[in-house]
Structure 1
Amino acid sequence: MSLFDQLGGMLGGDNSQLLQSAQTLLNDNGGISGLVEKFQQGGLGDIVSSWVGTGANLPISAEQIQAVLGNEQIAGLAAKLGLDSSQLSQQVAEHLPGLIDRLTPNGEVPQGNDLLSQGASLLGGLFKS
């Protein structure tokens, strides 16, 4: 069982789906650095840089998520989760900025795939008031 599965099980409900979506997006796109690069190549470098940086996170629309990640990836992930593609795109748009922000606490994309420290950081961020 992966760290994201454990976190999802602890949170339950919609958060479980969100964490499963996040894990799949990270795995399918080469981790945080691959996902950041994909958004940069998609013309959204300023937006994704705000998520990684230490300032406020710029918003992203569901349409921008679909444009960068592609309809095929969104549709495949939505089918796995039993969601409509537009629902998934909206959820990703709402939560991905904060997730990337939490996984890059020092304003830098971590090197390698140290999911244990990334997950611990995420878990700490989820339970802060």
Structure 2
Amino acid sequence: MGLFDNAVPGGNIAKPLLIALGALLVGKMLSGKSAEQTDQDQSPAPAPSETTSADGGLAGGLGGLLDRLKNAGQGNVADSWVGTGQNQPINANDLGNALGPQVIREIAQRAGMSEQDVLKQLSAALPGIVDQLTPNGQVPSQGQLASIFNR
């Protein structure tokens, strides 16, 4: 996952954090299927839970994550990650408030981590990762995100 090597403090992304990011941003892609296979799959998808989005992960994809941050009063922080300037940090508690307890709980379960560790690691990693995923201020489509996480 060379794309994120410089995005995360300390370099490489640990597998549990990658699982957490996948759950947050591309959810259904964690099944191991490529975006193309998922689109061609004729079996009915399970009904999305309260925390999932039909077109993204637990936060509704990257756009949904950015919307949640903006709705929680963290719009300037989120905009700094997408923009070309300096990335502003986010406090783990502020990130938790934006995502909500149900999403954090589900990410923690999928990643095999405590909720506190998920928030700590995501709050450290998300500014750089969102910055890497949004070159020139462009938010990628769900298909583009899925292909990045399925490499």
TM bucket (normalised to shorter chain) is 0.7 to 0.9
Distance 1:116 1:82, change over 3 A: closer
Q: Is the 8 A contact 1:57 1:97 kept in 2?
A: yes
2:103 pairs with 73, 83, 88, which one? Answer: 73
Pairing 1:92–2:91 present = no
Q: Which amino acid aligns with 1:109?
A: V
1:58 pairs with 88, 93, 116, which one? Answer: 88
SS across alignment from 1:113: helix
State the partner residue of 1:24. 23
Q: Structure 2, unaligned stretches of length 5 or more? A: 6-11, 26-56
State the partner residue of 2:44. none
1:78 Cα deviation from its structure 2 partner: 0.8
2:140 pairs with 110, 115, 121, which one? Answer: 110
**Runs in 1 of length 4+ with deviation above 4 angstroms?**
none
Q: Is the 8 A contact 1:31 1:113 kept in 2?
A: no
Q: Is the 8 A contact 2:17 2:111 kept in 1?
A: no
Distance 1:64 1:93, change over 3 A: same
Q: Which amino acid aligns with 2:67?
A: E
Measure, in 2, the Cα distance between the counterparts of 1:14 and 1:107. 23
Q: Which amino acid aligns with 1:68?
A: A
Query: Which one has the largest radius of gyration?
Result: 2
Q: Identify which of structures 1 and 2 has the higher relative contact order when contacts are C-alpha pairs closer than 8 Å and 6+ apart.
A: 2
Q: Which amino acid aligns with 1:61?
A: N
Please, what TM-score do these two structures have when normalized by structure 2?
0.65
More helix by share: 1
Q: How many residues align?
A: 111
Measure, in 2, the Cα distance between the counterparts of 1:14 and 1:33. 22
RMSD between superposed Cα atoms in Å: 2.4
1:116 Cα deviation from its structure 2 partner: 5.9
Q: Is the 8 A contact 1:32 1:109 kept in 2?
A: yes
SS across alignment from 1:28: coil
